[in-house]
Chains A and B, each alone.
Chain A
Amino acid sequence: PHFMIELPDKNDALCFNINDKPGTIFNLVRDPVSGILVNGQIIGDKKIPPDGVINTYFYRFGITHWTLGVRLEVNTEFITVYQGGERIKLLWSAPSSLKGPNVDMVLTKDRSLMVTLKDSVKFVILLHKVWEKHPYHRDYLGFYTLDSHLLSPSAHGLLGQFYHGIEYEVSDLRPGEVPERPDATMFVKGQQLNVTRGWQRDFRNDVKNGENVPCWFIHNNGTGIIDGDASDYIVSGLF
């Protein structure tokens, strides 16, 4: 999966990939104060592509809000909401909306699920549907945080750690391996990283083609930009 930190006030963005064995579950957001937990499980391509690189994608998210007593499981087939002892199942194929005291959800058929958890966070999950008979690829999900400003300063996780903003400086622009992707030196979190100018796609407005967003790409599973390394975010269960 590719991670993107868009910083409109800097007119810039940072991006990195995190990959691991299919089946691995990563923690994306954890805020012990507001009681939010978002974990995601990755899946690989159906078989090894010709270039030999197994790409992984998120295909299942587990979202828990302890204080509101809400739990959501979103996978590429359906969505399950647990709240106050009640269980509601929604299908991606049926547009629907749900308005409750603690959670609002709007599902756009086979495309997106917008979730607002009261006084904490708003996010959208995109469904990428792939042709069923595609030889390599399969359906996967994207997770976009739309509003996190109500989360506490303790929020962490692969995405959550960036909710507090990030300070960095890029200098020493130089030719990279590919002419249109120059390399540069990034000073971030007291470290000096070699980064490459590139782009990643934001699919919110165009779920099929996406929009290219230029970003500074951080190599080696985001080493240097994330606190610790990617393996520190592996968790044993979805909830």
Chain B
Amino acid sequence: NADVGTVEVHSFTVDCAVRSRFARTIMTSTAINKGNAAREISFEVELPKTAFISNFSMEIEEQVYVGQVKEKEKAKQQYDKAVSAGKTAGLVKASGRKMEKFSVSVNIASNSKVTFVMTYEELLQRTLGQYEIVIRVKPKEPVQEFKIVSNIFEPQGISYIDAHATFLTNDLLPLVEKTVTDKKAHISFSPTIEQQRKCPDCPGTIIDGDFIIKYDVNRDKNLGDIQIANGYFVHFFAPKDLTRLPKNVVFVIDRSGSMSGTKMQQTREAMIKILEDLHPEDHFGIIKFDSSVDSWRNSLSLATEENISEAMAYVKKIAHRGSTNINAAVLKAVDMLVTDREAKRLPEKSIDMIILLTDGDPTTGETRIPVIQENVRNAIGGNMSLYGLGFGNDVDYGFLDVMSRENKGLARRIYTGADAALQLQGFYDEVSSPLLLDVDLRYPDNAVESLTTNHFSQLFNGSEIIVAGRLTDNDIDNFPVEVYGQGFEDFSEIGQFSAVDWSVMYPEDDYIFGDFTERLWAYLTIQQLLEKSKTGAADEKANATAKALDMSLQYSFVTPLTSMVVTKPEADDSPMIADKLTEEQRQQAERSGGVSYYRPSTPPTYFVDGD
């Protein structure tokens, strides 16, 4: 992003390396100021919000300025000090739905060159049976050397891989090169400067959008796969061919006034699709609520064709009104499931779940959030899963997140937009096929330490459980593993793994695994500590936060607790800071982003005056 004509963006390259789901992406850009005066050049990229920035550097006049990860509060003090002195130019943070924006700018002297290098790392999550790598590229002008390269190493073997981009035209399509062998894939895309142009000699570039790689790995062993490197191990568990468990699900739908219009319409659309997709052996119930709570039927119904069609007719008539009593609605759903279970109306081997959809804070009945959380926790008593869907930007997402986590579930944000109904369906697809409950992965106590979470309340079809830890014995030959879970058939597998010889598996690339397994372990540990820092007793939260901060600093990750400080060459006390947004900040940014994006040609006016 530069002053076109005097500043030439010489190169932009993206190098993404994946080693067993752990992806490290390095974005490099070089620009030259060919003008007679100094120019400001900015480097602006977007990265997935699940990623942590781990490095950033600028090279100017052969001098390299490297970012340093610092505790957020300390970085902020430094930043504030510079701001008050009027000497700084950049705060680095912004966000989108799936991505976060990183941008810095720096003044470059005449006839000088600057090279920006940014690295981010993330653990790819398996969703609906595949991993997805998203690389967003938005150069303002054609670039002399433009290249996206991805090398994927998966010791389990790659079962399929697909690469496409939102900006690919028929002319560009053949430029995506894909080489796949059993355990390794190489994908590259490198259009020439002419191929990037919208038309010969016209300005602008067609390269603007997402380059997306999707793949999955082979799953030969039911016990999963264990990989050991440099004293750390990681266990990937996603058995295939398990019979899904029938589920008993109560949909709790907010119909308060704020759901009016598009949100209510999208909810109805999504519910119709979700009802269509229910398995015949599932039971379901529907509760709608505002200040009052009404249920479709007093108990759950089997998903027969007739029942589904009656439920659809009911859903089509849900209309908005009134305020929001979340407490009463969720407790009613719990009561319905408990009563049906006690009356033996539900299959013994089945899973109970509540899916709550709301777009706002509780405003009537019990409105104290900690009390609602306690009421729900006590009522559920660990016997069912609660999933919270937060619709739009006025929802207290933290409240839903904590309440869902406390009840073996998870929360998801549904963004207001044309595709909201699809987002609702997508979430349902993810959680609609439970395979196992109470999954326990056990390793020998004397051989492992610093283990990440090894107990999971459920495993869904198409997802994956990952556990990592440190080995106390580097020369481990036989690593015993046990996995237990409750499913249609109870799952119990015991086996042994050995460390593979990477130089045999990847004779030309045996060095590649290096610190990846350790960093995967660190990433996973930090993510789980950040989650723990939101629930539980105050001292446990503080403890988890402190540990997450320590590890973020140790592994140089920009997490919500740290910032990366880059000292600009102009002055020692004018740093630039890369931050990681918290979910709450992301919500705020979304809110503002929406307003900015949808800003009509006549801007809104807000005024105060008198008659």
Contacts and interface: CB of A to CB of B under 8 A. Distances in A.
A161 to B, nearest CB: 9
B157 interface: no
B492 interface: no
A142 B606 CA distance: 11
Interface residues of B, number: 39
Interface stretch (B207-215, B253-261, B518-526): B253-261
Contacts of A202: 605, 607, 609
B360 interface: yes
B257 A191 contact: yes
A191 B600 contact: no
A6 interface: yes
Nearest to A9: B600
B411 to A, nearest CB: 19
Contact of A149 (B603, B609, B610): B603
A187 B258 contact: yes
Contacts of B588: 152-154
Contact of B609 (A6, A126, A164, A190): A126
A142 B608 contact: yes
Contacts of B361: 190
B151 to A, nearest CB: 38
Give the most central of B86, B360, B608: most A CB within 10 Å: B608
Contacts of A142: 607-610
Given A69-B86, A191-B363, A143 B260 contact: no
Contact of B260 (A165, A187, A201): A187
A221 interface: no
Given A3-B607, A143-B609, A203-B609, A8 B591 contact: no
B394 A189 contact: yes
A188 B323 CA distance: 10
Of B595, B600, B603, B610, chain A has the most CB atoms within 10 Å of the CB of B610
B608 A143 contact: yes
Interface in B69-92: 83-84, 86
Interface in B561-602: 585, 588-589, 591-592, 594-596, 598-600, 602
A169 B321 CA distance: 10
Given A57-B610, A140-B610, A192-B322, A153 B591 contact: yes
B64 to A, nearest CB: 29
A145 B607 contact: yes
A143 B258 CA distance: 30
A147 to B, nearest CB: 6
How many A residues touch the partner, as a band? 35 or more
Given A164-B591, A190-B324, A190-B361, A169 B609 contact: no
Contacts of A163: 595, 606
B490 interface: no
A151 B588 CA distance: 12
B320 interface: yes
A236 to B, nearest CB: 20
Given A169-B260, A187-B258, A190-B323, A5 B595 contact: no
A8 B600 contact: yes
B603 A143 contact: no
A232 B86 CA distance: 32
A2 interface: yes
Interface in A157-188: 158-159, 162-165, 167, 169, 171, 187-188
A69 B599 CA distance: 29
A152 B590 CA distance: 11
A46 to B, nearest CB: 14
B604 interface: yes
A146 interface: yes
A144 B605 contact: yes
Which has the most chain B C-beta neighbours within 10 Å: A8, A140, A153, A192?
A: A153
A72 B90 CA distance: 25
Given A147-B603, A187-B258, A165 B610 contact: no
A67 B83 contact: yes
A149 B599 contact: yes
Given A147-B603, A154-B588, A1 B595 contact: no
A92 interface: no
A148 B609 contact: no
Contact of B595 (A35, A140, A149, A154): A149
Contacts of B394: 167, 189-190
A195 interface: no
Contact of B605 (A6, A126, A158): A6
A148 to B, nearest CB: 7
B609 A201 contact: yes
B610 A153 contact: no
A128 interface: yes
A55 B610 contact: yes
B260 A58 contact: no
B201 interface: no
A144 B609 CA distance: 8
Contacts of A48: none
Contact of B320 (A5, A56, A169): A169
A7 interface: yes
B608 A3 contact: yes
B342 interface: no
A62 interface: no
Interface in B320-374: 320-324, 360-361, 363
A165 B595 contact: yes
A143 B320 contact: no
Contacts of A165: 591, 594-595, 604
Contact of A191 (B323, B599, B607, B611): B323
A86 to B, nearest CB: 14
A63 interface: no
B591 A4 contact: no
A67 B592 CA distance: 20
Contacts of A66: 84
A187 B363 CA distance: 13
A230 interface: no
Nearest to B596: A149
22 contacts: A1-B610, A4-B607, A7-B604, A55-B611, A57-B610, A58-B610, A69-B86, A126-B609, A143-B608, A144-B607, A148-B606, A149-B599, A151-B592, A153-B592, A162-B606, A164-B595, A167-B392, A167-B394, A188-B257, A189-B258, A191-B323, A202-B605
Given A4-B607, A143-B609, A167-B258, 19 more contacts: A1-B610, A3-B608, A4-B606, A5-B606, A8-B604, A58-B608, A67-B84, A126-B609, A145-B606, A164-B591, A165-B591, A165-B594, A167-B394, A187-B256, A189-B258, A189-B360, A190-B257, A192-B322, A200-B609
A-B pairs, top 5 by smallest CB distance, nearest first, are A187-B257, A142-B609, A153-B588, A169-B260, A153-B592
